[in-house]
Amino acid sequence: MPRLPARLLALVAGILLPLTGAAAQEPAARPGAAAAKDDAKESPLVSTEWLEKNLDAKSLRIVEVSVEPGVFERGHIPGAQNVVWHTDLVDTVSRDIAGPDKFTALARRLGIDRTTTVVLYGDNNNWFAAWGAWVLAQYGLVDNVKLLDGGRRKWEAEKRPLDTRTTEVAASTFTAPAPSPALRARFGDVLAVARKERDEQILDIRSPDEFSGKVIAPPGVQELAIRAGHIPGSVNVPWAKAVNPDGTIKSPAELKALYAAAGIDGTKPIITSCRIGERSSHSWFVLSRILGYQARNYDGSWTEYGNAVGVPVVNLAGTVWGGK
């Protein structure tokens, strides 16, 4: 395809995009968030040290979103409340995030509103905590929501105290608006990029073997797609490259260099994608909240795209039905 039409499209998209949900997009794309500041009020991350010092802060709500059941109950950060990602944050019948009513009830139970500082953390490198941050952001809870840098693992590794008692907080009066569409990419958005009808970038954060099409799913995970490979035009930067060995997120300068090497520098809107959209929330958080790039998460991810009929797919490994 010649370059000119693509540029034209980009221009058109650039003009049109801000018109759709401009208000909700504003916080994520705000350039002020680009420089990660040390002040916990400004930064999207809080350190374990900061959190331990501020455990008793009045307007602080600590929320654990872990994958493994029983982890929270057997010891959590003092004052933390539990959110079960696969029932609390989703619609359990149709494949969707929790609707406004359900989310309102959850936020009220957790005592969360727009003025409280919410610190999310969890096991598994904060994957689901980041996913939780993405869900909260869609309901307008953006700047007051932080991730605990290094998550549960770092807190435990530093031998900081855990608690098994139940936390009781006063319910909030939060009422969820309709979820903002600006932080979530849909199948149609991704397909438009794949067909080069729209000039955006897709960041695929799965493992190189999944990306190339050698395997459909990571080891030990059910193959939920019919085809292997990736969405045309996407680039591969596995999510784990954004973190240090201790699980903390790398410095903004390192992150900028990491993504710039893959051609992602924030000049174009970005769509993050993985298998079911949860690991990609981690990269969404990094791009959107730490670097201040305009990023959306595609939660349909490969389990939607890789099952769709008649869409273009790149399969570098040349596998057929996941085999040779």
Partner 1 sequence: MRPLTGPVAERSAPRPQDRASAGTAGRAPSRVPYRVLAALAVAAGLAAWAWWLAGQPGGARLALSLSFGALFGFVLQRSRFCFYCQWRDLLVEGDPRGLLGILAALAAGVAGYAVVLGAWMPDPSGTRLPPDAHIGPVGPVLVLAGAVFGAGMAVSGSCISAHLYRLGEGSPTAPFALVGTGLGFVLGFATWNPLYLASVSEAPVIWLPRHLGYAGSLVLALTLLAALAWPLLHRLPEPAGPRPRPEPLRAVFTGRWPVWLGGLAVGAIGTLAYLRVGPLGVTAEIGGRARQAAGAAGLLPARLEGLDTFRGCATALRDAVLTPNGLFVGGLVLASFAAALAAGQFRPARPTRGQAGRGLLGGVLLGWGAMTGLGCSVGTLLSGIMAGALSGWVFGLAMFAGAAGTLWLGRRTGHLA
74 contacts partner 1 (rule: CB under 8 A): yes
Give the number of other Cβ atoms within 10 Å of residue 217's Cβ.
Answer: 21
Number of residues that bind partner 1 (CB under 8 A): 12
- Catalytic residue (choose from 217, 243, 274, 295): 274
Query: φ, ψ for residue 274 (rounded to 5)?
Result: -145, -130
59 contacts partner 1 (rule: CB under 8 A): no
Site map for partner 1, 154-173, x if CB under 8 A?
---x------xxx-------
Stretch that binds partner 1, among 3-11, 69-77, 93-101, 281-289 (CB under 8 A): 69-77
Q: How far is the CB of 74 from partner 1 (least distance, A)?
A: 6
Q: How far is the CB of 84 from partner 1 (least distance, A)?
A: 7
115 contacts partner 1 (rule: CB under 8 A): no
Pairing of strands 90-91, 96-97: antiparallel
Most distant CA pair in the chain, distance = 63
245 contacts partner 1 (rule: CB under 8 A): no
Q: Is 324 a catalytic residue?
A: no
Q: Using CB under 8 A, pick the residue from 26, 73, 91, 254 that binds partner 1.
A: 73
Q: Using CB under 8 A, pick the residue from 31, 38, 39, 70 that binds partner 1.
A: 70
Expressed in percent and rounded to 5, the helix, strand and coil fractions of the chain are 35, 15, 50
Q: How far is the CB of 201 from partner 1 (least distance, A)?
A: 35
Q: Which is nearer to partner 1, 156 or 265 (CB)?
A: 156
Q: How far is the CB of 153 from partner 1 (least distance, A)?
A: 9
Report which of 318, 242, 315 is spatially closest to residue 279, judged by C-alpha positions: 242
Q: Which is nearer to partner 1, 106 or 185 (CB)?
A: 106
Q: How far is the CB of 70 from partner 1 (least distance, A)?
A: 4
Q: Which are the catalytic amino acids?
A: 274
Question: Which residues sit at the interface with partner 1, rule CB under 8 A?
Answer: 69-70, 72-74, 84, 87, 157, 164-166, 220
